Amino acid sequence: MSELKKAIDQISKDRGIDRDLLIDTLEEAVRSAVARKYGETMDIEVAFNEDNGEIEVFEFKVVVEDVHDPISEISLEDAQEHDPNARIDDEMGFPVKIEDLGRIAAQSAKQVIIQRMRDAEQEIIFEEYKDRVGEISSGIIQRRDRTGWIINLGRTEALLPKDEQIPRERYKRGDRVQAYIIDVLKESRGPQVVVSRSHPDYMIELFKREVPEVADSTVKIMGVARDPGLRAKVAVMSRDRDVDPVGACVGIRGSRIQNVVQELKGERIDIVVWSPDIAMYAQHALSPALISRITVDDEEEALEVVCPDDQLTLAIGRKGQNVKLAAKLLGWKIDIFTESRYGELNAARKGMDQIAAVAEVSMENFINAGFESLESIVRASDEDLLDVNGLTETKIADVRVAINMLAPGIVDEIKAEEQAEENFEAASVDEKQELDEGEIHETTEEDGAEKEAAEVVEETEEESETPADGEEMK
């Protein structure tokens, strides 16, 4: 076996490059070298001879009577020296020695071979990692650049961007790290594998690795919400009635979930039971807080959650973390109220839903305009009520009529207050002055009484300090 054939077989084996692709690369490199030396007009054919393991090059010339281009033409006389049967317009092939190509052409061929091999290797790596998107890969921290950390995966490198890292997690060169492959990009310098440690699906893959029931789909992870490095919520359901999804994920004495927590540098994980009932699902998602009741708005995908006063801190969590993760897990907006606050709001808003129905306007429009109770609507002028989105002058009149029917007591009370204010304003200046003088006179008498009382106290104190007859002063 020739040295060239051995080299082709060895490279194909070591680098995983297809043998035929290597041979095509060699043939193209030689063709490029010949063209570089003799020009593009030379008609050549390059082929690898499997029998002797060598590259063979042939140049082809057309037989003519008068030669105008020695590179592509040959005279009949010269042609017949090689083949007595040669005729005009015949095409004849002549071998070209590769050794005659020269140093520059050989260098060009070498560069083409190296580049083609690199391209072929990069294509193989791209195809390999393209199919591994969604898997966990392990590598060694190699260096840091402006976009993140570069991880050596063996055959290629991966990028761990800054926004895909776990906050406050520190690395140094030589550290072994695991990450989740989220993308593979084709770049000019080679395939770029992008990995993440903060992606929600990374946690799912970790559970698949640690929990057999998750791996075989007996327990299904329905959703993950993460605050990377701090806390996460994982919703699970069981396809088997005899399998507890939470217990399966936690493991005996927390052994399974502890492995996941350690990999994520202490990230606290809450396992919650998924439910098709959004209210029940929300109650589980907001654990460990206890929930009193939940109002569901399907149209707006919003939840109004009421909890006992002493559970508010647990429901919201530190810096709102618990309710944020629950909202992210559900994909719904969540508003939390204590029972006392909810009672106040309900009392204030009592009857507003009926008024909103009469006006054919959403109650949210009233609230957004600053009207949170029937009393505030009664006290408002028509100009103020026009600020409510959807209200017109005709609808305002309907609202006034409806309020008189629904809450006559509030209307009468406000009217009485307004009448008392009008009566006070209508009082004469003299009456006001008399009232003021009466107050001044009463104040003067009170001041005089206080003064006399003070004098009596002083005299009493002086008498008590005077020693009795026959007693010495102490």
Amino acid (one-letter) located at 441: H
What distances in angstroms separate CA 56 from CA 28, 62, 455, one per listed residue?
12, 20, 136
Short-list 93, 113, 94, 110, CA closest to 102 = 110
Q: Which tokens belong to 80?
A: 């017949």
125: Cβ–Cβ under 8 A, 6 or more apart, which residues? 155, 156, 190, 191
CATH 2.40.37.10 fits 132-196, yes or no: no
Beta pairing partners, 295: 304
Cα–Cα distance measured from residue 224 to residue 174, given in angstroms and rounded to the nearest whole number: 31
With contact defined as beta carbons under 8 Å apart, do 295 and 332 qualify? Answer: no
Q: Interior CA angle at 409 toward 405 and 410, to 5°? A: 95
**Exposed / middle / buried, residue 458 (Cβ in 10 Å: 0-12, 13-18, 19+):** exposed
Residue pLDDT tens, the chain, 474 long:
466 677 667 767 766 677 777 777 777 777 777 777 777 767 777 777 777 777 777 888 888 888 887 777 888 888 888 888 888 888 887 777 766 565 555 566 566 667 777 777 777 788 888 888 999 999 999 998 888 999 998 878 899 999 999 988 888 899 999 999 999 988 767 778 999 999 999 999 999 999 999 999 999 999 999 999 899 999 999 999 899 999 999 999 899 999 999 999 889 999 999 999 999 999 999 999 999 889 898 888 999 899 998 999 999 998 899 999 999 999 999 999 888 877 766 665 666 777 777 778 777 777 777 777 767 777 778 788 888 887 888 888 877 777 777 656 555 666 666 666 666 666 654 455 554 555 545 444 445 555 554 444 444 444 444 343 333 333
With contact defined as beta carbons under 8 Å apart, do 333 and 301 qualify? Answer: yes
Q: Which tokens belong to 7?
A: 């080299």
What distances in angstroms separate CA 193 from CA 85, 117, 146, 175, 446, one per listed residue?
62, 20, 16, 18, 91
With contact defined as beta carbons under 8 Å apart, do 147 and 163 qualify? Answer: no
450: Cβ–Cβ under 8 A, 6 or more apart, which residues? none
pTM for the structure as a whole: 0.59
With contact defined as beta carbons under 8 Å apart, do 326 and 315 qualify? Answer: no
| pLDDT score, position 456 | 43
Cα–Cα distance measured from residue 372 to residue 368, given in angstroms and rounded to the nearest whole number: 9
| pLDDT score, position 474 | 31
Cα–Cα distance measured from residue 260 to residue 214, given in angstroms and rounded to the nearest whole number: 13
Cα–Cα distance measured from residue 218 to residue 247, given in angstroms and rounded to the nearest whole number: 13
| pLDDT score, position 222 | 95
Burial 318-343 (b: 16+ CB within 10 A, else e): eeeebbbbbbbbbebebebbbbeebe
Beta strands in 127-218 (DSSP E): 136-145, 148-152, 157-161, 176-187, 190-196
Short-list 112, 124, 100, 125, CA closest to 24 = 112
Q: According to DSSP H, which parts of 211-338 are helical?
A: 212-215, 245-250, 255-263, 278-285, 312-316, 321-330
Q: Which tokens belong to 290?
A: 């206890």
My answer on whether omega of the bond before 191 falls inside 30° of 0, hence cis, is no
Please give the span between the terminal C-alpha atoms of the chain, in angstroms, as a whole number. Answer: 134
Burial 190-222 (b: 16+ CB within 10 A, else e): bbbbbbbbbbbebbbbbbbbbbebbeeebbebe
Q: What is the CATH number of domain 350-406?
A: 1.10.150
Q: Enumerate the domain spans of the chain.
A: 3-125, 132-196, 213-343, 350-406
Beta strands in 339-470 (DSSP E): none
Rg of the Cα atoms in the chain: 46
193: Cβ–Cβ under 8 A, 6 or more apart, which residues? 129, 137, 153, 156, 157, 158, 159, 181, 183, 184
Same fold, 3-125 and 213-343: no
Residue 385 parent element (H or E): helix 382-385
Secondary structure (DSSP) of 339-360:
HHHHHHHHHHHTTHHHHHHHHT
Cα–Cα distance measured from residue 219 to residue 232, given in angstroms and rounded to the nearest whole number: 18
Q: What is the CATH number of domain 213-343?
A: 3.30.300.20
With contact defined as beta carbons under 8 Å apart, do 32 and 113 qualify? Answer: no
Q: By three-state DSSP, how is residue 23 classified?
A: helix
With contact defined as beta carbons under 8 Å apart, do 201 and 180 qualify? Answer: yes
Homologous superfamily of 3-125 in CATH? NusA, N-terminal domain (3.30.1480.10)
Q: Which tokens belong to 34?
A: 């010949």
